[in-house]
Amino acid sequence: MERPSRARTILEFVKIEHALFALPFVLAGMIEGFRERGVPLRPTAEGARLLLLVLVAAVSARTLAMTLNRIVDRGLDARNPRTAGRAIPAGLLSTRAAWALAAVSLVLLVAASALLNPLVLALTPVLALLFFAYPYAKRVTWACHFVLGLAFLCAPAGGFLAVTGSFAGWTRVLPLSLAAMAWVSGFDIIYALLDLPFDRANEVRSVPAVFGEGPARRVAVGLHVLTVLLLAIYARLAGLGWPMYLAVVAIAALLAYEHATVDPSDPVAINKAFFQVNAVVGWVALAGVAAALWLAA
């Protein structure tokens, strides 16, 4: 079988398409940042500069997070039949090359943060620490899913701070940030169902491994109900109109579909729920925000 190219291997390794999960929440945070500053939402050179830097920071952060996770988990991945084909255990990418990729991602993240403003730069180590902590947390506590959630909590907050450079008014994105955290923690629990027997045999801590499939699925449902409630609270507090409430209803339907189709014995069904449904959720929320503000203008 022909070996994939180095570029293809790296793109598959970092799952660059997963940036689609966090990016709409980052952009929604930016919108709230402009609203906090009283800046009209229209194309400007400064807005374009901020958007470019935020995109570089977001993609670099996502690449750093995935790379660190793959490096730390390389031993587990090699023993797990589901993940043995990943780049490092399969010998397609060396650990040294993965560390180099992590270093480049960190440099780009720090550079973009420095060009945004001093506050974002000062908070960058906190984000990097969360990325590094997540793969180790699963070896210690079933609450590891919430460490990943905390990293996603930073998405709307990061977009807001990138624009404002100040904590002033940050509570306007708090419900949105908490919604992102609950959403990601919930679908990470669903994804962990795939490895329940392996995790128990290898002392990997997760909600499914510690509490079982049924309780884990109920916790995930509860977190996604909380996600919908927090999005509705955000819509109310942000003064957004019916398009945002319509988006909340659509997100509730997407999450309900996700839970209805989850089958732990069918990796294809879980991957469909994880990658397809969740890739849409954030963009629906962003569309609701944008449409509500456009109609109110």
Give the tens place of pLDDT for each residue, 70-95: 999 999 999 999 889 888 998 888 99
| Per-residue model confidence (pLDDT) at position 261 | 85
148 close to 188: Cβ distance less than 8 angstroms: yes
Q: What does the H/E/C string look like for 229-284?
A: HHHHHHHHHCCCCHHHHHHHHHHHHHHHHHHHHCCCCCHHHHHHHHHHHHHHHHHH
Q: Which residues neighbour 102 within 8 Å (Cβ) at sequence distance 6 or greater?
A: 64, 67, 68, 71
Residue at 46 is within a domain = yes
> Residue 93 carries which DSSP code?
S
Summarised one tens digit per residue, pLDDT across range 198-208 is 999 998 999 99
Q: What is the mean pLDDT of residues 39-43?
A: 82
131 close to 68: Cβ distance less than 8 angstroms: yes
Residue at 1 is within a domain = no
Pick the residue with more confidence: 65 or 39? 65
Summarised one tens digit per residue, pLDDT across range 155-175 is 999 999 999 999 998 888 999
| Per-residue model confidence (pLDDT) at position 96 | 94
Average pLDDT, the chain: 90
Summarised one tens digit per residue, pLDDT across range 93-139 is 899 999 999 999 999 999 999 999 999 999 999 999 999 999 999 99
List the structure tokens of 242.
């019916």
List the structure tokens of 98.
């993965």
Distance CA 278, CA 285 (A): 12
Task: List the CATH number of the domain containing 70.
Answer: 1.10.357.140
Total tally of structural domains belonging to the chain = 1
Residue at 130 is within a domain = yes
List the structure tokens of 289.
């925000």
3-class secondary-structure state, position 169: coil
Residue at 133 is within a domain = yes
Enclosing domain of residue 66: 6-296
Residue at 96 is within a domain = yes
Summarised one tens digit per residue, pLDDT across range 193-234 is 989 999 999 989 999 999 999 999 999 999 999 999 999 999
284 close to 258: Cβ distance less than 8 angstroms: no
Q: Which residues neighbour 293 within 8 Å (Cβ) at sequence distance 6 or greater?
A: 31, 35, 41, 240
297 burial type by CB count under 10 A (0-12 exposed, 13-18 middle, 19+ buried): exposed
Residue at 162 is within a domain = yes
**pLDDT of 265 over the 90 cut:** no
| Confidence bin at 42 (pLDDT 50/70/90) | confident
Residue at 192 is within a domain = yes
